[in-house]
Amino acid sequence: MSAVILRDATADDLTEITAIYADAVLHGTATYELVPPDVVEMRARFMTITGQSYPYIVAQDHHDRVVGYAYAGPFRTRPAYRWTVEDSIYLTPEIKGQGIGRALLLRLIELCQEAGFRQMVAVIGDSGNQPSIRLHERAGFRHTGIFEASGFKFGRWIDTVLMQMQLGEGSATLPDEARYPGTLFGG
């Protein structure tokens, strides 16, 4: 893996985060967005995620550039889903395949376990996105399903791959609502 520092994202990182995401929108199928959001929209999204105490991290290279980012957010907004998060990871094209995505995912998993979440879901755009699928498999995710031809981008139908992993005690015990107060859990 290239030498990077993983740290909490800040609003100062949003210009670089926006550029990384724009590349994913314009050239990849990891996201089903068709038009890259601007930095104002990305700031609003960032504030929503971090304002609810979900983890949002970046990988910073030795030139102090953000070369990747990852965050966890709500899998669904209904209260019964509050113990389940969905991960998102995006990298600059030139650092893909260097282990930075893995480092971001493993750190994100740690942060989500520390926060008391019990399940992490990966919603992967394109069943042909083998690097993302392998990344999640190697981290311990299991395949849970495929929504066939659920997206349409670049003139073709795209599957959505669903993967999941238990965090911490997973479903073996009941969550301790009192231990994790805050906006996420209605406390």
162-171 pLDDT, tens digit per residue, is: 999 999 999 9
What is the pLDDT, as a whole number, of residue 177?
74
- Asked whether 6 and 15 are in contact (CB, 8 A), the reply is no
**Percentage of the residues of the chain whose pLDDT score is greater than 70:** 94
**Which fold does the domain 4-185 belong to in CATH?**
Aminopeptidase (3.40.630)
The residue behind tokens 């609810």 is 52
Supply the mean pLDDT for the chain: 94
Predicted confidence band at 1 (pLDDT cuts at 50, 70, 90)?
low
Q: What is the pLDDT averaged over residues 108-126?
A: 97
**Pairing mode, if any, of strands 119-125 and 156-166?**
antiparallel
pLDDT tens profile 47-99:
999 999 999 999 999 999 999 999 999 999 999 999 999 999 999 999 999 99
Whole-structure pTM value: 0.93
3-state secondary structure of 153: strand
